[in-house]
Amino acid sequence: MEFNNKKLERTSKLINYLIAIILCGFLISLSGKLLDDVDDWKERPALEEFQNKEFLKTNYSKIKKISSKIDSIEEKKSSIKNTIKVVNSNYDNAKQSYDNWIEARKTIGSPKEDKEVLKRANELDKYYKTQQDWEKELTSINEKIKSLTKKTYKINNLIEQENDRAYQERENAIRKYNLKIFLIRLLFIIPILILGIFFIIKYRKHKYWPLFLGFVLFSFYAFFFGLVPYLPSYGGYIKYTVGIILSILFGVYAINKIRTFIEEKKRELKTSTTERAKKVKTETAEKALDNHMCPSCGKDFIVKKWDKSAGKKDKNETYGIVTNFCRYCGLELFKKCESCNSENFAHLPFCSNCGSNMNK
């Protein structure tokens, strides 16, 4: 005997869905943890693995030596600059003294014939020559620094080219690595998805269906949403392609099921009403009565009639008449209880008035 308490049925459905959702949630959390950990199974390619370490070491050593030379020359350059400042100062002082002395000599004789003038001019030339020599030395040092800087620049270019090559190789290795990790994750998820589809097809009416439903929801979430953070650039094609394939398969399955159901209904309606009445389940009968439908063909068993009341020529009042037999398939819908003669729905097991068995 089936217990058809509606409140209990609704509560049961709610609990079943709750079980499915809770199980689905824990499965999603577990799969997320597993998918994250796949990335730790193998070391991600590092740039150092693809660099020519000996080449870089040699060139960095060259740069270090050149930098050391430049620092040394810079110190010498700084010293020369200080010397030039002193030489310039000495020259300026000597020039000023010479100019003052010449002005004084103009008042007492011809400066061109004065030996002292020539002597002082020669001394001034020596200061000037010293100044020019130091300037040349500074120019030479600047050229050396410039030359060494160019060498450093060339070596840095070589290092940069080597790093670019290593970086490109690393990018290629990372793409292969990501593909490998993605395939591992995909190989983990695909069987889950297939198992979920299998559960839908085979265990829809199983007593533990809520548990299977939880797994089914998880399997679809894991493939269509759980994999999203790990999809490579072309991953969308895989996801949408699988989605299209599943849509086609489910469409074909659903169409075939509907057609099979319709054909079975047609064959069932060709059998006698007695045979069809025996196949009506109590649950189906209860829902049919609530929705005033025939439990065999699904058509409404209430016949509408119209009554034109006197004085209301423009208005029609409708009311329903419940028929004892389905006017579409002929199935008996209502019959009287043999014990109390009360009218009852023919496919429910007990009389609503006296509780007698209606199927005896």
Question: Residue 282: what residue type?
Answer: T
For the record, the structure tokens of 249 come out as: 């398969």
Per-residue pLDDT band at 6 (split at 50, 70, 90)? low
Q: Are 235 and 45 in contact (CB under 8 A)?
A: no
For residue 337, pLDDT over 70 is answered with yes
- CA 67 vs. chain centroid, Å, equals 48
Q: Are 45 and 174 in contact (CB under 8 A)?
A: yes
User: What are residue 318's phi and psi, to 5 degrees?
Assistant: -110, 150
Per-residue pLDDT band at 314 (split at 50, 70, 90)? low
- CA 20 vs. chain centroid, Å, equals 25
| Predicted pLDDT at 39 | 72
Contacts for 215 with CB less than 8 Å, ≥ 6 apart: 23, 24, 27, 195, 196, 199
Q: Are 346 and 278 in contact (CB under 8 A)?
A: no
Give, rounded to a whole angstrom, the gap between the first and last alpha carbons of the chain: 14
Average pLDDT of the residues in 51-58: 85
**Selection from 53-67, 119-133, 176-190, 314-328 with the highest mean pLDDT:** 53-67
- CA 100 vs. chain centroid, Å, equals 87
Q: Are 46 and 170 in contact (CB under 8 A)?
A: yes
Per the DSSP assignment, residues forming a β-bridge with 302 are: 322
User: What are residue 84's phi and psi, to 5 degrees?
Assistant: -60, -40
Query: For the chain, what percent of residues have pLDDT higher than 90?
Result: 1
| Predicted pLDDT at 4 | 46
For residue 34, pLDDT over 70 is answered with yes
Q: What is the DSSP string of 228-258?
A: GGG--TTHHHHHHHHHHHHHHHHHHHHHHHH
Contacts for 351 with CB less than 8 Å, ≥ 6 apart: 337, 339, 340, 342, 344, 357, 358
For residue 282, pLDDT over 80 is answered with no
| Predicted pLDDT at 112 | 53
CA distances from 321 to 7, 191, 318 (A): 29, 56, 10
Q: Are 154 and 62 in contact (CB under 8 A)?
A: no
For residue 355, pLDDT over 70 is answered with yes
For residue 92, pLDDT over 60 is answered with yes
**Selection from 43-52, 68-77, 229-238 with the highest mean pLDDT:** 68-77
CA distances from 173 to 169, 180, 234, 293 (A): 6, 10, 17, 66
Q: What is the DSSP string of 261-292?
A: HHHHHHHHHHS-HHHHHHH--HHHHHHHHHTT
For residue 234, pLDDT over 70 is answered with no
Per-residue pLDDT band at 270 (split at 50, 70, 90)? confident
Query: Helix-strand-coil percent breakdown of the chain, rounded to 5?
Result: 70, 5, 25
pLDDT tens track for 302-311: 877 655 554 5
Domain parsing of the chain, residue ranges:
8-232, 278-345
- CA 147 vs. chain centroid, Å, equals 52
Claim: this prediction has a pTM higher than 0.75: no
For residue 313, pLDDT over 60 is answered with no
Crossing angle between the packed helical segments 115-202 and 53-105, to the nearest 10 degrees: 150
Q: Considering only 96-105, 211-220, 240-249, 277-286, which range has the smallest mean pLDDT?
A: 96-105
Per the DSSP assignment, residues forming a β-bridge with 320 are: 304
Question: Residue 171: what residue type?
Answer: E
